[in-house]
Amino acid sequence: MKQKSIKKKYDLTADVYDERYKDIQFEKFKLMLQDIQLHGKILDHGCGTGLLAEFLNTPLFGIDISFKMLKRAKQRRELVVQGDLEHLPFKARAFDNILSFTALQNTEHPDKALNELKRISNRKIILTHLAKFDFSKQINKKFDVQEIRQAGEDIGFIL
C-alpha cells in the first residue's frame, strides 16, 4: 500500500488499535519471543503503539510512519522516530536485534524494506507478516533463515 494511505489508515486507527489488537499481538509476541534471548540495541520496526515495549517491559527504539501510533508508543517509553521502513534513518548494523511484527505486508515495496532491514541489522531479526501474503522467496534470498513459525494469523521468521 502507498505510504500516504498507510499513514492515514494508522493515524485513524491509533485510538482503537490497542483495544482491537493487543491480545492478538501479544499472542504473536509470545509465540515468537518466549525462547529467544534479546541483547544490546533493540529496534521495534513498524512499532505502532509500542505494544512490544509493554510486552517486554523494557524501553525500545521504535520507528513507524504514523505519528498518532508513535504518540502512543512514546507513552510506552519507546524512543521513537517517524520514518519509512523503506528508507531507514539508521547507520549500517545499528541494531543488535530487530523485532518486526505485522508491518512488512503494509509496505509499498517489501523488497526495499527487507534490504533496509538487512543493512541495519548487526545480529538477529525476528520478523512476522500476515500469513495471507507470501514473501518467502525474497526473505530466503536475502537472509539466512534459522526458523519459521506460525504465529497466530502471521508467519514468523527468525533470521
Ligand X SMILES: C[S@@+](CC[C@H](N)C(=O)[O-])C[C@H]1O[C@@H](n2cnc3c(N)ncnc32)[C@H](O)[C@@H]1O
Binding residues for ligand X (CB under 6 A): 3, 6, 10, 25, 46-48, 51, 64-66, 69, 84-86, 101-103, 106-107
Q: How far is the CB of 127 from ligand X (least distance, A)?
A: 11
Rounded Cα gap, residues 134 and 2, in angstroms: 18
**DSSP 8-state assignment for residue 84:** B
Q: How far is the CB of 35 from ligand X (least distance, A)?
A: 19
Residue 138 grid cell: 525474497
Q: How far is the CB of 36 from ligand X (least distance, A)?
A: 16
3/115 with CB nearer ligand X? 3
Which residue's CB atom is positioned nearest to ligand X? Answer: 48
Cβ pair 44, 78 in contact under 8 A = yes
18/96 with CB nearer ligand X? 18
| Cβ atoms < 10 Å from Cβ of 11 | 16
Q: How far is the CB of 101 from ligand X (least distance, A)?
A: 4
82/122 with CB nearer ligand X? 82
In sequence order, the 6+-apart residues with CB closer than 8 A to the CB of 63 are: 43, 44, 45, 46, 47, 80, 81, 82, 83, 85, 88, 89
